Chain A
Amino acid sequence: MKSTLKLTLGLTSAMFASTAVSNVAQAEDLTLCWAAWDPANALVELSKDFTKETGIGMKFEFVPWTNYADRFLNELNSKGKLCDLIIGDSQWIGGSAENGHYVKLNDFFDKEKISMDDFVPATVVGYSEWPKNSPNYWALPAMGDVVGWTYRKDWFSKPELQKEFKEKYGWDLAAPTSFDQLKQIAEFFQKREIDGKTVYGASIYTERGSEGITMGAMDGLYSFGFKYENPEKPYEMDGFVNSEKSVKGLEFYKALYDCCTPPGASNSYMGEGVDAFKSGQVAMHMNFAFTWPGLQKDENVGGDKIGYFANPKGPDGDQFAQLGGQGISVVSYSDKQEAALKYIKWFANKDVQAKWWSLGGFSCLNAVVKDPGFPASQPYAQTFLDSMAIVKDFWAEPSYAPLLQASQKRFHDYVVAGQGSAKDALDGLVKDWTEVFQDDGKM
């Protein structure tokens, strides 16, 4: 009886002790919030080194892209403590800085000798600074990303197709350098029989619900001459957003959608684009660079069959691409800010950044991307560098959400639903955006 009692007491104590230890361990764990996508898996792998070095455990909260903004902006707005670290979208930076969601990192960077000069300039402006182009840092550039294109190198190199293309268009079938060439190639492949299968020209962004069509259309608009505002007078948009060149850019995007996309591609974004390319439906595919490592490894369309090119030039030779990617920030409502800052310090380390790139993340550290061996390190590395050199980003204002909703509606109404003209859509956009800035008291 005595021994049974001892055993029971022993087991109970052990149970209490193990619970207490696990509670202590959990108290030290950091939670990192991000989107559920391939780079997030790479980050989980990478973060194991952080736990090994510091003993701080890492937990992850990944949400699919379609709900990513809703979920985490709700979390930040309600001052939730779920996330200690957050990799927030570039457009959130203004709102998160002004509403006090992120910890300002200037003092920390100074103390830890982390210099923003060590990072690719476009990523510092895009992911870290608010107000833009001022030395106020709210995030460390974490995941460089930009819209670019992949193409079926194996189809492009078929002699019979090369011959037919040359006869038809008078130039060699190769990765396009201008939007005009891109459309010719897309038209050439549209509804063509290749290896017994009907294929289509290009997969482009047309998604309505979150940010898809804006991220896609802007790639055409920027290179055609679209500007968000008068460079001399902030928030003056009339004549810039709806300039003649912008109208031509939007008309081009609609023409590309009408002529050369697969049937039913009226609501495509990153996932649908990858599916279309992987299933061998399209000759070219617009998508953020983060999709490239996965496509490169794909058995059916990767390896030697895939090629990459940066967003092409517009009619006047301008060349820009939509910036993607994110910075990593410390959430101001977290009780574990010190440990979170430790993670940022660790993440900024050169060796960690090099490993980040090798695992499939896109480093923004100059020491990694300017390394002489970088362009040859992956087949898409050079295109990534070329693309990062030409980036432009959407508004990063605190009101970015209504600004984005307005462009989503105007672009989808015109490009996909075919309602009104490009001029109507852009005039409407100026009206919507003006209202938003007036509400904000900025106009």
Chain B
Amino acid sequence: MTEAGLTMLNRTADGVARATPEPLARKVRGISDTGLAWLFISPTIMLLLAINIFPLFWAIYLSFTNYRANRPNEVVRNVGLANYKRILGDQDIWIAMQTTAHFVFWTILLQTLIGFTLAWLIDRKFRGHAFWTTIILVPMMLSPAVVGNFWRFLYEPQIGLFAYAISFVTGIPATQIGMLSNVSLAPWSIVIVDTWMWTPYVMLICLAGLRSIPEYIYEAAEVDRASNWRQFWSITLPMALPFIMLAVLFRGIENFKMFDMVNLLTGGGPGSTTEVASITLKRQAFESWRTGYSSAFAIILFVAVFGLANIYVKALNKVKQR
């Protein structure tokens, strides 16, 4: 610790001591740096333990039982790995996982492509770019509940603007454009809304990456007579790549556990065509009340996201080291 830091710590300790009754103050004055540090962070640690760590371990415990939250009087039995075996052999769960993978893949692909393009354009610093940046960021600032509800109206085949616009362009009657009721269109309707809402977020991260590239590198490239295309491939993209990867990581984790938007737009339907893993989990946990079973499913999802995120972070670090 630096001298300035130490002085500040001592001052803080003195301040705490002055504000406390005499017997306690003596103890505070005599407390070590480590002790004081623990004193300050212990409330946060307690809070984290109470709301994050304990529920996690509790869920792990429940995942090995037949516990049902709606049967408080029933004896809780240990069922070993039965819940895990049942989940891994359940065809509906695998379909939900496939739906989730489809959703995650397409949203990330579209958001990265459009987000990076927008960032690159905004980085050109054309006239009014600040204004357009603000406008582009608006969807991200809205609540998912609001977004879900108004897109539901936009998608309405009889009164929705979206259906009307598509009908205007394609000539197909608006009443036949059932974005939320058609099995083939419903998954895409969610991808469109998520992309609309979260592309600005990806754009923002990519913009930070582009702005962090030193100008002199481009100047050197200009001297070497590198074309714009060459500059993009050899300077812009490699140097912005860690930022793009970070955006992909954030959006990947978020979309893997996507619930609100899907619930508001389609509720998992039509049929089960948009039933992502989190919707299945919610149904099992809070509608069917299979608490043990849904805890096991939650643990599987957690391990999957955690594992994939770890692999990804390692790749990200390699890219950064290059």
**Chain A interface (Cβ < 8 Å from any Cβ of B):** 69-70, 73-74, 77, 79, 95, 98-100, 198, 207-209, 262-267, 281, 398, 401-402, 404-405, 409, 412-414, 416-419, 439
Contacts and interface: CB of A to CB of B under 8 A. Distances in A.
Contacts of A100: 73
Given A262-B158, A416-B181, A95 B269 contact: no
Interface string B17-46: 000000000000000000000000000000
Interface string B165-177: 0000000000110
B267 interface: yes
A419 B92 CA distance: 14
25 contacts: A70-B286, A70-B287, A77-B69, A77-B70, A77-B72, A77-B289, A99-B72, A208-B267, A209-B263, A264-B178, A266-B178, A266-B181, A266-B270, A267-B266, A398-B71, A401-B288, A401-B289, A402-B288, A402-B289, A404-B287, A413-B271, A416-B181, A417-B270, A419-B183, A439-B66
A208 B286 CA distance: 15
A263 B268 contact: no
A99 B71 contact: yes
Given A99-B72, A402-B288, A402-B290, A264 B180 contact: yes
B157 interface: yes
A265 B269 CA distance: 12
A398 B72 CA distance: 12
A208 B263 CA distance: 11
B70 A209 contact: no
B269 A417 contact: yes
B288 A266 contact: no
A404 B286 CA distance: 13
Nearest to B283: A405
A266 B269 contact: yes
Kindly list the 7 A-B residue pairs having the minimum CB-CB distance in the complex, ordered from nearest: A417-B271, A266-B181, A413-B271, A402-B288, A208-B269, A263-B175, A263-B157
B4 to A, nearest CB: 51
Contacts of B269: 208, 266-267, 412, 416-417
A265 B156 CA distance: 9
B176 A412 contact: no
Contacts of B263: 209
Given A264-B178, A402-B289, A417-B269, 6 more contacts: A95-B71, A263-B157, A263-B181, A409-B271, A413-B272, A416-B269
B72 A209 contact: no
A439 B79 CA distance: 12
A262 to B, nearest CB: 7
A73 B70 contact: yes
B162 to A, nearest CB: 12
B273 interface: yes
Contacts of A198: 175
Interface string B202-234: 000000000000000000000000000000000
Given A70-B287, A263-B175, A267-B180, A208 B268 contact: yes
Contacts of B286: 70, 74
Interface string B298-309: 000000000000
A294 to B, nearest CB: 22
B158 A263 contact: yes
A276 to B, nearest CB: 10
A117 B183 CA distance: 50
A227 B79 CA distance: 34
A56 to B, nearest CB: 29
Nearest to A418: B183
A253 to B, nearest CB: 14
Given A401-B288, A413-B272, A267 B176 contact: no
A405 B70 CA distance: 15
A263 B290 contact: no
Interface-centre pick from B178, B268, B270, B273 (highest chain A CB count, 10 A):
B270
Contacts of A405: 283, 287-288
Nearest to A435: B86
B158 A267 contact: no
A418 B263 CA distance: 21
Given A77-B69, A99-B72, A263-B157, A412 B181 contact: no
A263 B176 contact: yes
Contact of B156 (A70, A95, A264, A409): A264
A439 B284 CA distance: 14
Interface in B132-168: 155-158
A104 B286 CA distance: 26
A99 B183 contact: no
Contacts of A266: 178, 180-181, 269-270
B183 A417 contact: yes
Contacts of A402: 287-290
B217 to A, nearest CB: 53
